[in-house]
Chain A
Amino acid sequence: MKPAAESATADLVGRARVGEQAAFTALYRRFLPLVHGLLLARHPPPIADELSQDCFATAFAQLQQLRDAERFGPWIARIARHQRAREHRTLPLEAVAEARAHGADHEQQHEARSVLAALQRLPMAYRETLMLRLAEGLSEPEIAAHTGLSADSVRVNLHRGMRKLRALLALTDDGPPAPTAADDTAPSQRALGAVTREEVAHREVARGDRP
């Protein structure tokens, strides 16, 4: 038997249909970046994490309904795109972007928040493709193979999306603008002391009145 990770998608689907646990695991590992990237394009990171799990649980339960086993990627992508947040609540990306950027210091979190906010303003097709490429690290052929899009479409989405993203971020050769002084201290180290107007204003940017 071939190792599950190296098997063709159709083969994995066939084995998963008869309940082989290793095949479920291989499908999960292989398509997790796709599913998570698509959800990240629509939801804040903590919700995208949660919904990724839900999406696979739903897909695995409906595996018998998949007609063309080779097209598992586009099929689960469709499920991910229609996955709804629990309690029907979708939260603004910016509101939680900084909550758990694993492994990032505060300055990186600030920059990532700016990029996420800018991405949120792009058309969905560009947002999805850029998220898969920049956040999940998929290449153009991988994105095309997983989503069922043509390589040309992926390339156009990346190119145009990047152009729009660059305009939104007003990127220069020096990269995104640096965080303000108010953010120099990591939140966890910040004493519960006096609050400044500048700090409040900085936090207010692009944030709604509800979480």
Chain B
Amino acid sequence: MVEGLSFELLMAIVVSMSGLVAFGLIMVFTLRSIKASVTVGVVGSVLSWLAGLYLFIHYWPAREAVIFQVNWIVSANIQVPFGFYFDSLSLLMLMIVVTISTLIQIYSIGYMAGDPGKSRYYAFLCLFAWSMINLVIAPALIQLYVFWELVGVSSYLLIGFYFEKYSASEAGKKAFVMTRAGDIGFFIGLVLLFLAAGHLAMDVFSSGEKIAAILPTLKPLFPMKPETLLTISAILIFSGAVGKSAQFPLLTWLPDAMEGPTPVSALLHSATMVAAGVYLVSRIFPFYEASHTAMLVMLCIGTITMLLSSTMAMVARDIKQVWAYSTISQLGFMLMGLGAGAYFAGVFHLTTHAFFKALLFLCAGVFIHHFDTNDFFDMSKGGARKMLIPMIAVTIGVCALSGLPPFSGFFSKEAVMGALAAKPNKIWLIAGLLGAAMTAYYSFRVIFVMWFPKGGAAGHVHAHGHVGHADAKEAQEDHGAHKGGAVWITEWCMLAVLIVLSAITLVLGFFHGDIEAFVAGAKETATAVHGAAAEGEHGIGHTTVLVLALSCALAGVILAWFEYGARRATQAGFLSRLKPVERLFANRWYMDHFYRKLLDYVVYGGFTNTFTRNDRVVIDGGIDGFSNLTIGLGRVFSRVQSGLLQRNLYVTFFLLALMGLYFFLV
């Protein structure tokens, strides 16, 4: 497929390799010099952004997938390709990834100022972006899997970036192990599919007709019909997405992943890592469409996750935790959209979510940087409302998150709602609306608390915040001592990124039609048409859904206003009157406790104990037994060596005589 080195291919190589090159350069050469590392990292990501932009514009409107690939592993009739795959979905996602990772690298210049590990941080950021870019443009599921794991590794490195802090290294480990639990299923699913189909080429699995064509040719692995095999492997592959995208039941690693630096959380929550799961599902969406069971599983998991994590977000006091839960919930919402069969709605929500969630996290980063606390009640008391640009940015982000017009989230949420309304069973729509109301409630809770601080012991907190602020300033001044005005540069790096992201969040929704034409036009899958038809059949029209979704969101906003915003509001929330429920939500529905117990009983109590016993009894015992047998036999046979020469002679002659007799008689 590679025919010469065309300019497009060169650009593809730049976009896919610049991250790795930057990582290598930083790790090998510039680890000592922070300034050089930052330059290398930013230049690398800007290069890949430019190359990505070129590809995006060049291939627009991407009716056909463009594939560059070489054979990586060739063995008998198995060929594993390695290369680049550009179609509308991967180009869109590529654009998101390079844009957000570039913005975050620029933001980090300010956020990480004065951190001694900044070089390492930039190296990991480059590695992270590189893995995600290559995951996105993988031409075969095997390559996708390889980079999937690399994304996991680099997220581990970044979540545990402050490794000297126990909770951070634990959080990194938890993220790694929990996503791995899903990846096992993913890998088994891939192997099953590979054995049955003989290849995992992306262009086959992302096209409905091609899947229908290969369905009869699937090798019967076990006594299992091809459809069953398809369903099983689809669900197994989906379990990988459950782990990566923090869906129920593997969702508790994501709130803990807040231990990393805030820009990392932004990257993790918007474009890379958690988006990978949803991306995988939409990447091979026609493959899922071929199995109704898998779609139903997806819909259920998405719904459960969305509702669970929304409830958790309603009681969190840590601003990053609130955003983390909202990420989980929005990912669940995307999967609901995909599970309902609306390919474009899911992808569009992924796109808009990537930008507004990056915005929200980066705003949170500015506040955390400034007030040195994660609690937004404390931030509010410290005077967060005086920081106008971040406050406006966070408000824009929250409006988008709650799905209020005219922000981007409104358009994508509305698309998903439309898909849910098209399902004959109305429970999905009701769950979606409930989720929208809760989302609006918890996100506006944050906003109202921060805009309208209420009395209380502000003095102490303020002093604390002030001290933290002074420390940060000092650190910055240390860093920029030889470079006057460095503080301003670092501040503006952060604010400029916020402004850019706010602008994207504001306008992205209006490109709804263009993106739809770009993503869905190339596919021309039956879903869009089918969805529209179904909508007519099942009663609820477009306008009704729109009004319903909006009124639910507004209900959430109004509830939040009365509890947190209004003049006489107590800022306590209706949940504080339901203590057990609040405790349940605050403890994440006791999922972590459950996992702790599960680990203690099953892994430590069950497996570890069994294996220890096996080690002690079977392995040690076996070797001990064998050596004891040897020693015992030695003792027995040493009796033969009596030391009495004549007895030996007796035996010798007796045996000789027997032999003589034998030869004589035979």
Whether both chains belong to one complex is answered with no
